[in-house]
Amino acid sequence: MRAMSLIRPKLNHKLMYVSESYSSESYDPKYFIDSSLDETPQPTSSGISEDLLHPPKNQFDGCPSNSESDYLESLSLDCVDYDENKMRLKLQELERVLLNDNEDVEEEDEMFSGPDLSMEVDGEWADQIRPTNLHDSPKESSSTDSYVSSIGSSNKEISQLPSCSLKQLLVDCAAALSEGNVIEASTMIEEVRRTVSIQGDPPQRIAAYMVEGLAARMAASGKYIYKSLKCKEPPSLDRLAAMQILFEICPCFKFGFMAANGAIIEAFKDEKSVHIIDFDINQGNQYITLIQSIASIYQKSNKSKPVLRLTGVDDPESVQRPVGGLKNIGQRLEKLAEALGVPFEFWAVPSKTSLVTPSMLQLKPGEALIVNFAFQLHHMPDESVSTTNERDQLLRMVKGLNPKLVTVVEQDVNTNTAPFFPRFIEAYNYYSAVFDSLDATLPRESPDRMNVERHCLARDIVNIVACEGEERIERYEVAGKWRARMTMAGFTSRPMSRHISDNIREVISKHYCNKYQIKEEMGALHFGWEDKSLIVASAWR
């Protein structure tokens, strides 16, 4: 769904592989077998250096590098007697009305045409948001720790099928499954498997993973497959490293972080003390760039630097265990801040996001409060999953803190409330753009690229296609849905400034393919590949 440079040690982790076939009757965990990491393609030199997880001691030396409020409130009440199934259906119906769920992603197809929406601010506070080598990577997903990896093996004979026919075959298979035609779907799955290759062109590569999601769904075993992939365990170092590579080779994620940091830096102006709360701090890498930028801005302006307090929230059983925990992340940031002369304090909150209360956040009077949600909110279940509605509950809690600014960065696609078949189509179109963008970045045989696709993209695709209910955790929403949620929680939009968008455009023109696009839409910044919006960043108050 934030990086230093990358290290790729030779590790002895065991990876899980899926078999070449599924039963249409049931799911058998024996299909997942251990395999040595040696069988996994190892990264080659792709311009990514080697100090991601354990940066060298001189890492931080030097300067920056190149209203429906009442209705929503009622959803969180606990002591109500109801038929749960009927209530859930009613809530989903209401949710579709409130969030305009018939709004398809056609709006995305037109998003890159039309007038710019921008707001001028003091350039002094925006020019420094774009160091030429921003080390920010997508936040760690709470989904599986392994991946489907024997899919479309490049060692087998591949029958050739035109890309348009391959896509149509996948769509027909999904339609058959949605209608309960298991035998017909099974035949099409086997035909697709004979055609795909994880080293082929983008349509072949995405089909290799989409078809396994369909196979898992056909076996009525999506949730069991996902469980067998140890989704509750922390990610391996391979997974973390692959996330950093994804950041480097699919920069729309980076642009999202840059936009959020730009809005945060602008909120610093005239403040003596700033407190940032990040509800999914991951490895803390977004704040490396932020601290560097703050140091540079204040050095040029000769103004006193404000005190920066950062509260990092993360599930102690999730991302942080392999990299030493929140304490190590805080120490890493403190070392950087000290080297750059930025007054800095770090407060760790090792807790699941849904359990965080205001008393845990160490709020102090006189501080300007900023809350950052980067690739976090889509993992929070909403009213379509549970009457608890953790997603809107968290937003209302944050609004009650009276923050000066809230930043939201998310994937721009609906995999949340869309029924299976339209969800499959949306996922295919979204990830097709991602796979196409990778094709412009790395060779098709690149081990780095294959690791990114397997570790980072394949498992999310399987979860979106195969899983339902609480087992489906990759629940993205389009920009319009996030606007509706934020508005209903009491927030008002704070449009991204023209300086932020101009700076990111400059980075794109200097360092990236011209097929990467940026568009301002209703105060938010959309980052896309050609005409497809992939990531949206917005700010609220």
Return the pLDDT at 321.
52
What is the average per-residue pLDDT within 272-295? 92
> Residue 241: which pLDDT band, with cuts at 50, 70 and 90?
confident
Residue 211 near residue 182 (C-beta atoms within 8 A):
no
Question: What confidence score (pLDDT) does residue 66 get?
Answer: 46
Residue 390 has pLDDT above 90, yes or no: yes
Q: Which residues pair with 103 in a beta bridge?
A: none
Is pLDDT at 258 greater than 60 in this prediction?
yes
Is it the case that residue 7 has pLDDT exceeding 80?
Answer: no
Percent of the chain with pLDDT over 90: 51
Matching residue, tokens 């990610």: 235
| pLDDT score, position 160 | 56
Mean pLDDT in residue range 240-261: 85
Is the confidence at residue 491, as pLDDT, over 60?
A: yes
pLDDT of residue 57: 37
- Across the range 222-240, mean pLDDT stands at 54
Q: What is the mean pLDDT of the chain?
A: 75
More confident residue, 157 or 185: 185
Q: What is the pLDDT of residue 71?
A: 27
Give 417-433 pLDDT, tens digit per residue: 999 999 999 999 999 99
Q: Where are the domains of the chain?
A: 164-232+420-474, 247-412+476-540
Give the tens place of pLDDT for each residue, 139-151. Answer: 544 434 333 444 4
Rounded CA gap, 400 and 539, in Å? 17
Average pLDDT of the segment spanning 348-353: 90
> For position 242, what pLDDT does the model report?
77
* Res 283: pLDDT: 77
Distance CA 455, CA 205 (A): 14
Single-letter amino acid, residue 221: S
How confident is the model at residue 126, as a pLDDT? Answer: 39
pLDDT at 277 over 60: yes
Q: 247-412+476-540: which CATH number, 3.40.50.720, 3.10.129.10, 3.40.50.150, 3.40.1260.10?
A: 3.40.50.150
Question: pLDDT at position 94, please?
Answer: 55
Q: Give mean pLDDT, residues 372-401.
A: 95
CB 197 within 8 A of CB 219: no
Give the model's pLDDT for residue 318.
62
Whether 231 has a pLDDT exceeding 50, the answer reads: no
The better pLDDT of the pair 52, 314 is held by 314
Positive or negative torsion for Cα 124, 126, 131, 132: negative
Dihedral Cα 361, 314, 76, 401, nearest 10 deg: 30
Of residues 23 and 262, more confidently modeled: 262
Query: Residue 180: which region, alpha, beta or left (left: phi > 0; alpha: psi -120 to 50)?
Result: left
Pairwise pLDDT comparison (453 vs 27), residue with the higher score:
453
Helix and strand element counts for the chain (H, E) = 17, 10
Q: Is the pLDDT of residue 539 over 90?
A: yes
Cα–Cα distance measured from residue 346 to residue 308, given in angstroms and rounded to the nearest whole number: 9
At 269 the pLDDT is: 87
The confidence band for 520, taking pLDDT boundaries of 50, 70 and 90, is very high
Q: Each residue of 11-67: pLDDT tens digit?
A: 333 333 333 333 333 333 322 223 333 334 444 434 433 433 333 333 333 333 343
Write down the pLDDT at residue 456.
Answer: 84
Which amino acid would we find at residue 485?
R
Task: Give the mean pLDDT of 519-527.
Answer: 97
Span 195-215, average pLDDT: 93
114-118, 194-198, 359-363, 513-517: least confidently modelled range: 114-118
Percent of the chain scoring above 70 in pLDDT: 65
Confidence of residue 381 (pLDDT cuts 50, 70, 90): very high
The whole-number average pLDDT for the span 244-262 is: 88
Query: What is the pLDDT at residue 162?
Result: 62
Q: Which of 63-77, 236-250, 381-395, 477-491 has the lowest mean pLDDT?
A: 63-77
Decide: 186 and 24 in contact? Cβ < 8 Å.
yes
pLDDT band at 300; cut points 50, 70, 90: confident
Higher pLDDT, 124 or 237: 237
Write down the pLDDT at residue 158.
Answer: 46
